[in-house]
Every structure is written in structure tokens, then in C-alpha cells.
Amino acid sequence: MAFTPSSLLLHQPFKTIYILAALLYNLFLLPLCLLFYLSPTLRQHPSYTYRQAHMVRLLKTYIYHISRIRSHPAWTLAPGSEGQRFTPIPPSDKPIYRGELDDPEIKPARIGGTWYPTVYDPSSPEEKGKKPSTVILHIHFGAFVIGEGRSKDLGYGAHLLTSHTRRSNARVFAVQYRLSSHGARCRFPAPLQDVVTAYAHLLDLGIPATSIVVSGDSAGGNLVIAFLRYISAQQHPAGVSLLPAPAAALLWGPWTNPGAAMRPRRSRTGDQSYYATDFLDDALLEWGVRAYAPPRSGVDPDGAWVSPRDHPFACAGVPLWVQFGSLEVMGGDVVRFAEGMRGVKGNEVELVEVEGAPHDIFLVGRLLGFGDVAEGMAERMGAWLRGKGL
């Protein structure tokens, strides 16, 4: 039976009671796990270190419980600890929200974004007279329901991106898009509208599209794919588009088949044996897709805009760098998506498998004990970007 949390857990005092019970239960299990994982043969995978085995389990447990109580960050456009690095962005006044983005209920809204490591200012003395910086527009993880793209979430990932590009003045701009956990008005296409808003903002700053790389991890990778599909779909026969195509796209463990999360795991395609070696939990994935493409909303969870795995398209000449971990539950879907995209004339797809890694080490590599693996992966990404002159 598909996962459906009790509605009682969404309200007090039941939410607090559940949290306390979960804490006590896991504190009881902790010493048992400390002993259990001493043997490599008893870990999720024999290649996992003692630390990796524990951290993967702890993160999976955390994700399960926050999904049960639907815990998500409050929406705010206050600068917070990011200070001047955080930039509020109004919707564009240009006619760039068409087709799938022109929804009678969901309208473009004011959003925000965080610059890494510093704010990009084309008029500053540091930028004047230089070749335009490589700016990486990053779309964060979170099954469309958690995450913010701020420093506490993306600090490590932003470091990986900026430290391995050719240009020393490279920047990352991480979008704080509307989370679908905030209500029906934030379902699809709201997050995709926000990606378009952020991209248009960079163009308005005078950053040429040839210097912009779009990047996304997990659900963020799904949004990058939808963004490229949107650019391609809006392209006129003469090759003119509402928005110019970016220079390249980076997909870190992209979630390419969300619709499958609405079905029991045993009925899904792909190798589900990696569920044990990964930290992703069904509770988060089902919560995410049901919020992003709610039943009776008219949004097809298995359609091309939500689940692109089996819906390849010509991606407007944008080269794709697609990464996945060999031990992640979504790996088979990522490979199937990449192979489908390769089959479309004119597409360039670089598929990178990271041996012995779970999902999204771009985000949690250092936390889980895969820091060296994540750095090596980022070096490969940097070499690929340098080959594109970025």
C-alpha cells in the first residue's frame, strides 16, 4: 500500500509526541547499530566505511521522519545570515511565461537567490574589463518540498562548483524557488516559473547566456531538464527563442521519474535493490510528487514535464553532464534518461557514474563521509566545463 501519513501527525500535540517517540526509539537503536556495523559484511554495502554506513542510515532515518510530519522550511525572503549575498527577485515583466508556464491558477511570483562566494556585480572594479564570469545557476534538491539553496544547504555544493571551474571569478547563484509543500498554489509549474525568473534575472544583469551554466541536484536536476525542455519548446522554426539557451547543464543525480513514487516500490521498473544502499526514502518521494503534481490538479505525474525519463527531446544545443552514483536507487532511471537523450539528433550527453556512491553526493558527500569521492567527481565536472571554455 502506498505511504500515507496519519493526518494526526500534522497537528499538535501529536507531532511533538511523534518526534519525542522517534528520538527515544532511535537512541535505543544507536548502540545496537554501532555494534552491527563493525562488520563490513553487515553494512548496507561492503565498500562502505564504518562512518559511511552510520551516516547513510542516520540520514535515511531523518528523511523518513521529517516526511512523516511534513516538516519543511518556512518561506521567507529576508536576507538572513546570507546578508547582501541574498537577492530578492521580482517576476520578469517580459512575455517569457508561456506554454506550460501560462497557468490560470499559478502565476509567477517574487522569489530570491543566494550568491556564492560573493555577489556578482558587473560594474565592480573586479569585474570591469574581464571576460564575463562563468555563472552557475543552481537549482537545489528536496523532492520539491524541502530545501532553500541557502548556505546551510548548499555551502558545500557551491564550493564544489566554484573551485573546479576554469575562471577564478566564477559565481554560483542558487535559486530559492517556491516549494510545493507550501500549498496548492506552489504546485507545478510554480518552481519552473521561478527557474525562468532567476535565469531572466541573470540575463538582465548583463551576463550573456554563453557564460551561464544551469545546474541542479536531485529534484533540482528535474527542474533543469524541464527548463531546457521549455526553452526548446518555445523555440521558433528560425531558431529564435523567448530565452537564449545556456552554455551547458549539470545534472547531479537528477530525479527523472517522480511519477513512479506514486506506485508501490515492488511495481516500479529499475533495480530496487539499491534502496538499501541509499538514503532516499519512499516517504519523501511520494510526499514530493503528490505536492508537485497533486491528484485532480490536471498535472500528469508521468508526463514529460514531471517525469522526463522516457520523454527525450532536443535540448536546444545545450551539452549535458549527467552524474549518478552506482549505489543510488535512481541510478537506473538516470541511465535510461541519458540514453534516451543521446538518441536525439544533435544532443551531447556526458554520462558519469561515480562508483560506490549513493544519491546526491554533490549535496551530502562531506556529511556522509564521501568527501574525497565528491571532490573527484567535481574535478571531472571541471575538466568537462573547461573543455567547453567555461
Residue 2, pLDDT score: 45
Burial profile 37-76: b = 16 or more Cβ within 10 angstroms, e = fewer: beeeeebbbeebeeebbbbbbbbbbebbbbbbbbebbeee
Contact 169, 126 (CB under 8 A): yes
Residue 129, pLDDT score: 64
Residue 265, pLDDT score: 62
Facing residues of 88 across strands? 112
Contacts of 257 (CB under 8 A, 6+ apart): 270, 307, 309, 310, 330, 333, 337
Residue 1, pLDDT score: 38
Contacts of 114 (CB under 8 A, 6+ apart): 82, 85, 86, 87, 149, 150, 151, 154, 173, 174, 176
Q: Which residues of the chain have pLDDT under 70?
A: 1-6, 128-132, 166-168, 236-241, 265-272
**Number of Cβ within a 10 Å radius of residue 180:** 27
Residue 131, pLDDT score: 65
- Per-residue cell: 115: 550568491
Residue 163, pLDDT score: 86
Residue 241, pLDDT score: 65
Contact 241, 249 (CB under 8 A): no
Pairing of strands 111-116, 86-89: antiparallel
Work out whether the CA dihedral 116, 121, 124, 125 comes out positive or negative: positive
Residue 225, pLDDT score: 98
Cα separation, 80 vs 74, whole angstroms: 13
Look-up of cell digits 517525469: 307
pLDDT tens profile 272-330: 678 889 999 999 999 999 999 999 899 999 999 999 999 999 998 999 999 999 999 99
Cα separation, 325 vs 134, whole angstroms: 26
Following DSSP, what letter does each residue of 118-158 receive, concatenated?
S---TTSTTTTTSPPPPEEEEE--STTTS---SHHHHHHHH
